[in-house]
């Protein structure tokens, strides 16, 4: 992640000691990886026992938008889905203010990301994603995916001046194709609900259970819900497939990995006929969404410590690949 807003232990030690029951702060470290928010590992000690949390300062999301994400994590955690659980303070609050920005503290999940996933990792993610979708069906809050079609329509004009003619044509033609898809009868019938919408390999942890290799890996959990929203479940699956099931050329699919993900997902929730028909266009929508956001981050960057920008060309190439399906 990046650290846009630095934090020292002295900034939070009194607050943590007074408003929570997690003991005294022993350390706060900025976390590398991620590009949206300022994230810190927060260590405390309670009755001689070390505790670990993740403190997030939200850099773009407003206090009005955040309850959806935090309540969703509470809901899913209560239903047994392995996701970070927001900490509730002594006043019953889960959303706080730090350095004038919204902030939250969540439980730290065990494990590490598997950036070169094996079939079993794809299968574990597919199965849990379907379980997560079903677990969200009785979540009472709704909030649109803030990085969906209307954001693409608003953002594309800002990035077009930076692109080559070929890129401009690809982007504007794909937007038109997606506008048509989003207004179709098929799209309207796709099942929807709380969706993660950013379930990349670096947003999933696997717990090796003490092994030095991946042989004992179990799912540690899904995190980084701050692009979540009420969206088509198929979009969530497409975002996930586009990142987890890549061939060595990093743009086409590895069919075996894709099959593992899809079979595991469908062992919990089979796709409807409309979803099967919509799959190729939804894969394009998922590639387009991240091409746009990466172009936006690349050409309209923000200041931050430890920020590692993501490469926009990856999703440009992927979109070209998905158009051949």
Ligand X SMILES: N[C@@H](CCOP(=O)(O)O)C(=O)O
Ligand Y SMILES: Nc1ncnc2c1ncn2[C@@H]1O[C@H](COP(=O)(O)OP(=O)(O)O)[C@@H](O)[C@H]1O
Q: Residues interacting with ligand X, by CB under 6 A?
A: 34-36, 198, 200, 202-203, 224, 290, 293-294, 310
Q: At a CB cut-off of 8 Å and minimum separation 6, what does 291 contact?
A: 171, 312, 315, 316, 318, 319
Q: Give which of ligand X, ligand Y, none residue 108 binds (C-beta under 5 to 8 Å, depending on kind).
A: ligand Y
Q: Whole-number minimum distance, CB 311 to ligand X, in Å? A: 9
Distance CA 292, CA 151 (A): 9
Nearer to ligand Y, 3 or 149 (CB): 3
CB-based closest residue to ligand Y: 34
Location of structure tokens 């239903």: 79
Residue 198 vs 231, nearer CB to ligand Y: 198
Shortest CB 321 distance to ligand Y, Å: 25
Residue 219 vs residues 24, 96, 161: alpha-carbon distances, Å: 30, 29, 43
Nearer to ligand Y, 187 or 223 (CB): 223
Residues in contact with ligand Y by CB under 6 A are: 1, 31, 33-37, 39, 54, 84, 106, 108-109, 202-203, 223-224, 226
Q: Which does 200 bind (CB under 5 to 8 A by kind): ligand X, ligand Y, none?
A: ligand X
CB under 5 to 8 A by kind: which of ligand Y, ligand X, none does 109 bind? ligand Y
Residue 262 C-beta: closest distance to ligand Y, Å = 25
Beta strands per DSSP E along the chain: 24-30, 38-46, 49-57, 96-98, 101-107, 192-195, 204-207, 218-222, 229-232
* Smallest separation, CB 1 to ligand Y (Å): 4
Name the residue nearer to ligand X (CB basis): 121 or 294: 294
- Contact partner at residue 84 from ligand Y, ligand X, none, CB < 5 to 8 Å by partner kind: ligand Y
Nearest to 96 by CA among 34, 44, 20: 20
* DSSP letters spanning 263-285: HHHHHHSPPPHHHHHHHHHHHHH
Q: 92: buried, middle or exposed (CB in 10 Å: 19+, 13-18, 0-12)? A: exposed
Q: Which does 160 bind (CB under 5 to 8 A by kind): ligand X, ligand Y, none?
A: none
Cα within 13 Å of Cα(80), Cβ side = 4
Binds 294, which of ligand Y, ligand X, none (CB < 5 to 8 A, cut-off by type)?
Answer: ligand X
Helices (H), 165-204: 165-182, 185-188
Rounded to a whole number of angstroms, the minimum distance from the CB of residue 43 to ligand X is 22
Token readout for 64 is 């009005």
| Angstrom distance (rounded) from CA 250 to CA 90 | 47
Give me the least distance between CB of 243 and ligand X, in Å please. 8
């Amino acid at each position: 992640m990046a650290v846009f807003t630095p934090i020292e232990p002295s900034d939070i030690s009194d607050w943590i000691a007074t408003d929570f029951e997690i003991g005294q702060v022993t350390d706060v470290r900025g976390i590398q990886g991620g590009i949206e928010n300022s994230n810190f590992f927060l260590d405390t000690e309670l009755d001689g026992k070390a505790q670990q949390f993740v403190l997030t300062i939200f850099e773009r999301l407003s206090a009005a938008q955040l309850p959806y994400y935090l309540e969703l994590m509470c809901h899913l955690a209560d239903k047994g889905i392995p996701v970070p659980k927001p900490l509730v303070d002594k006043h019953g609050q889960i959303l706080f203010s730090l350095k004038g920005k919204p902030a939250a503290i969540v439980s730290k999940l065990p494990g590490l990301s598997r950036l070169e996933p094996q079939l079993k990792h794809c299968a574990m993610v597919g199965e849990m994603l379907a379980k997560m979708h079903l677990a969200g069906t009785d979540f009472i809050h709704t909030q649109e995916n803030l990085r969906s079609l209307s954001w693409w329509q608003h953002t594309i004009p800002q990035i077009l001046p930076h692109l080559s003619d070929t890129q401009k044509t690809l982007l504007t033609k794909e937007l038109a194709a997606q506008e048509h898809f989003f207004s179709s009868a098929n799209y309207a019938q796709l099942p929807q609900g709380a969706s993660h919408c950013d379930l990349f390999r670096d947003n999933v942890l696997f717990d090796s259970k003490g092994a030095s290799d991946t042989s004992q890996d179990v799912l540690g959990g899904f995190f980084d819900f701050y692009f979540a929203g009420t969206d088509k479940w198929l979009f969530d699956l497409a975002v996930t497939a586009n990142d987890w099931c890549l061939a060595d050329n990093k743009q086409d699919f590895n069919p075996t990995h894709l099959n593992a993900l899809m079979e595991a997902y469908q062992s919990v929730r089979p796709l409807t006929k409309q979803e099967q028909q919509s799959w190729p266009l939804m894969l394009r929508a998922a590639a387009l969404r991240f091409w746009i956001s990466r172009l936006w981050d690349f050409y309209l960057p923000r200041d931050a410590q430890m920020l590692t920008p993501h490469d926009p060309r990856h999703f440009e190439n992927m979109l070209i690949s998905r158009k051949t399906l």
